[in-house]
Amino acid sequence: MKEIIKNKLAGMKSLEERKILRDVLEGVFMPLYEHNLKRYDILEERVFDELKFKNDWYDVYATVLHIDRVDPIHRFLRPVDSQDLSQTVDWDKLKEQINNSGSVFYNKVYFSCSHSKINDILSSYRTFTATMVTDEDTYKLKVKLSRYSNYLNKIKNLYRYCLQNGVAWRSVLAPYFFKFASITLDTEGITLSEKEQIEKIDINFEELSDIAKFNMVPLWNIDVLNLKNTGFASPIPCEDTINYEHVVSIKEYGIDNGYLVDFTGQDIHYTRRRENEVVITAASEEARKWRLIQVIKPTFFPTDYFEYPLFSNAKAYRFADGYSTAATVIRTKAEIFRKIRAFSIAKSIDLVDVKVVKPRYAFNSVTYNTNDFIVDEIRSPGYQQVLLLTFYSKYSEEDYVEDIISFLTSEIQVYYPEYDCRGCLV
CB 324 within 8 Å of CB 413: no
Four-point Cα dihedral 262, 267, 273, 275, nearest 10: -90
By CB atoms closer than 10 A (0-12, 13-18, 19+), residue 73 is exposed
**Mean pLDDT computed over every residue of the chain:** 89
Position 188 pLDDT exceeds 80 = yes
CB 108 within 8 Å of CB 183: yes
Q: Which residues of 278-290 are buried (b: 16+ CB within 10 A; e: fewer)?
A: bbbbbeeeebeeb
Q: Which residues of 90-115 are buried (b: 16+ CB within 10 A; e: fewer)?
A: eeeebbebbeeeeebebbbbbbbbbb
Q: What is the pLDDT of residues 85-136, one digit of tens each?
A: 987 889 999 999 999 988 999 999 999 999 999 999 999 999 999 999 999 9
Q: What is the pLDDT of residues 164-180, one digit of tens each?
A: 999 999 999 999 999 99
Q: List all residues 6 or more positions away from 263 whose beta carbon is below 8 Å from its beta carbon.
A: 161, 164
Q: List all residues 6 or more positions away from 142 whose beta carbon is below 8 Å from its beta carbon.
A: 127, 128, 129, 130, 185, 186
CB 389 within 8 Å of CB 425: no
Q: Across residues 241-266, what is the average pLDDT?
A: 92
CB 148 within 8 Å of CB 108: yes
Distance in angstroms (rounded) separating the CA atoms of residues 181 and 147: 5
Distance in angstroms (rounded) separating the CA atoms of residues 422 and 410: 8
* Band of residue 330 on the pLDDT scale cut at 50, 70, 90: confident
| Residue 2 confidence (pLDDT) | 65
Distance in angstroms (rounded) separating the CA atoms of residues 253 and 248: 11
| Residue 274 confidence (pLDDT) | 86
> Would you report the helix, strand and coil content of the chain in percent, each value rounded to 5?
35, 30, 35
Q: List all residues 6 or more positions away from 348 whose beta carbon is below 8 Å from its beta carbon.
A: 393, 394, 395, 396, 404
Q: What is the CA radius of gyration of the chain?
A: 29
> DSSP string of 8-68?
HHHT---HHHHHHHHHHIIIIIHHHHHHHHHHHHHHHHHHHHHHHHHHHHT--EEEEEEGG
| Residue 233 confidence (pLDDT) | 62
Q: Which residues of 118-138 are buried (b: 16+ CB within 10 A; e: fewer)?
A: bbebbeeeeebebebebeeee
Report the range of poorest mean pLDDT among 13-17, 289-293, 320-324.
320-324
Distance in angstroms (rounded) separating the CA atoms of residues 65 and 306: 8
SS3 153: helix
Q: What is the pTM of this model?
A: 0.84
Report the range of poorest mean pLDDT among 45-49, 56-60, 310-314.
45-49
| Residue 326 confidence (pLDDT) | 47
| Residue 50 confidence (pLDDT) | 52
| Strand order across the beta sheet in which 198-204 lies | 198-204, 127-134, 138-147, 180-186, 103-111, 212-213
Distance in angstroms (rounded) separating the CA atoms of residues 255 and 249: 9
- Higher per-residue pLDDT: 65 or 237: 65
Distance in angstroms (rounded) separating the CA atoms of residues 330 and 321: 13
